[in-house]
Structure 1
């Protein structure tokens, strides 16, 4: 099971997928180029690549739940315990 560091939140409005802040360049309110089909495949657990339009950073999505993309690489800084 992947840890929370491998997640990134998104918002779906109609058929558009927005990311509040790009994990790579920190650009705010990014409209992703993700198609309806790509989102559906990610939701089914099919590995999907998302290239951010703001900086061309690449994220490989392993799964998408109703709030988060679960990715191959850690996108958040690991919190110290």
Structure 2
């Protein structure tokens, strides 16, 4: 089970991964520097990824994923 304070909801649209909202600055529909092919490797635990939000340049370490949420190693700020 993914802890909600460490989770980030995401969507895949037109072969791009989007966060529904940036947890740091609050911008909606933020494109993430991930490919849809990266999600299964996160789900399997074979890989950890560091991403930088393009809207506010905050960095997050992703450690796991499911079909709706990405899991960070730390609690994410909510705006």
* TM-score over 0.5 (shorter chain): yes
Q: How many residues align?
A: 77
**Deviation of the 1:76 alpha carbon:** 5.2
- Aligned equivalents of 1:74, 1:25: Cα separation in 2: 15
Rg: which structure is higher?
1
Runs of 4+ in 1 over 4 A off after TM superposition: none
- Structure 1: state its 5+ residue gaps: none
Name structure 2 gaps, 5 residues minimum: none
2:54 aligned with 1:34: no
Q: How far does residue 12 in structure 1 lie from its aligned partner after superposition?
A: 1.1
Q: TM-score, normalised by structure 2?
A: 0.81
Q: Does 1:10 align with 2:10?
A: yes
Q: Please, what TM-score do these two structures have when normalized by structure 1?
A: 0.79
